[in-house]
């Protein structure tokens, strides 16, 4: 088996972030994560406590979001979502950088927002920053990575998945711009084993997907 796919289950943030997700769907997501030993589940803030209840005693992490998916919430609102998410049981926060600022070149404000949230989270909570790469030029993506690095986050993430999916070219750009200072999470439209292989080869270390179970079944069929 390709080394890139070794322990593939531990690359997945198993996601249920659509607006119609209800409590049974969240509980099912958590049970799937336990069964397949995924790294984390990704849920909206209102479901963090439910996920914490369902995952009690397991090794699966809980990921909550801030400013998701539109990015244009006030910084204090994103901060509240992030801190409250951790208080409710989240181990990681995926925040959406202000895309309007990114496309306008207002990078100092983007960095300051990231830094504000990072500063108010416990040191052991991982902060990932979604930059909605599909809305940015290559140069803007590179500048966004610098904001993520200088803001103190641990990951740059391609996109929310609401406005297009992750591409290999995006991941390559982010990986090269990061230069080992932050990791890259690919998310959005990841539905096949081949996509996983290509995105990991391009430099991603984490994958966000709502199709994680189907992808693992595809992998198991090859073994």
The catalytic site residues sit at: 94, 157, 185
Using CA atoms, how far residue 128 sits from 9, 43, 67, 179, in Å, is 19, 14, 12, 16
The answer to whether 102 and 138 are in contact (CB under 8 A) is no
Using CA atoms, how far residue 1 sits from 6, 21, 37, 208, in Å, is 7, 35, 19, 22
The answer to whether 111 and 81 are in contact (CB under 8 A) is no
Q: What are residue 48's phi and psi, to 5 degrees?
A: -65, -45
For residues 201 and 111, give the distance between their C-alpha atoms in angstroms, rounded to a whole number: 28
Per-residue exposure over 138-151, b if at least 16 CB sit within 10 Å of its own CB, e if not: eebbebbbbbbbbb
For residues 198 and 173, give the distance between their C-alpha atoms in angstroms, rounded to a whole number: 14
Length of the chain: 223
The answer to whether 39 and 61 are in contact (CB under 8 A) is yes
């Amino acid at each position: 088996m390709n080394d890139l796919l070794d322990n593939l289950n531990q690359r997945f943030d198993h996601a249920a972030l659509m607006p119609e997700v209800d409590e049974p769907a969240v509980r099912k997501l958590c049970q799937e994560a336990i069964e397949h030993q995924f790294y984390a589940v990704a849920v909206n803030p209102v479901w963090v406590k439910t996920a914490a209840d369902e995952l009690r005693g397991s090794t699966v992490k809980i990921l909550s979001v801030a400013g998701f998916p539109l990015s244009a919430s006030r910084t204090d609102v994103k901060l509240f979502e992030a801190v409250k998410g951790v208080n409710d049981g989240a181990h990681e926060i995926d925040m959406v950088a202000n895309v309007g600022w990114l496309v306008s070149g207002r990078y100092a404000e983007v960095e300051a927002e990231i830094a504000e949230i990072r500063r108010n989270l416990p040191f052991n909570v991982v902060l990932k920053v979604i930059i909605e790469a599909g809305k940015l030029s290559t140069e803007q993506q590179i500048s966004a990575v610098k904001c993520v690095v200088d803001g103190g986050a641990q990951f740059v993430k391609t996109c929310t998945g609401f406005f297009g999916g992750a591409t290999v070219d995006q991941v390559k750009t982010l990986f090269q711009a990061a230069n080992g200072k932050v990791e890259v999470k690919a998310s959005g439209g990841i539905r096949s084993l081949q996509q996983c292989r290509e995105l990991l080869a391009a430099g991603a270390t984490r994958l966000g997907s709502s199709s994680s179970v189907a992808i693992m079944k595809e992998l198991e069929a090859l073994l």
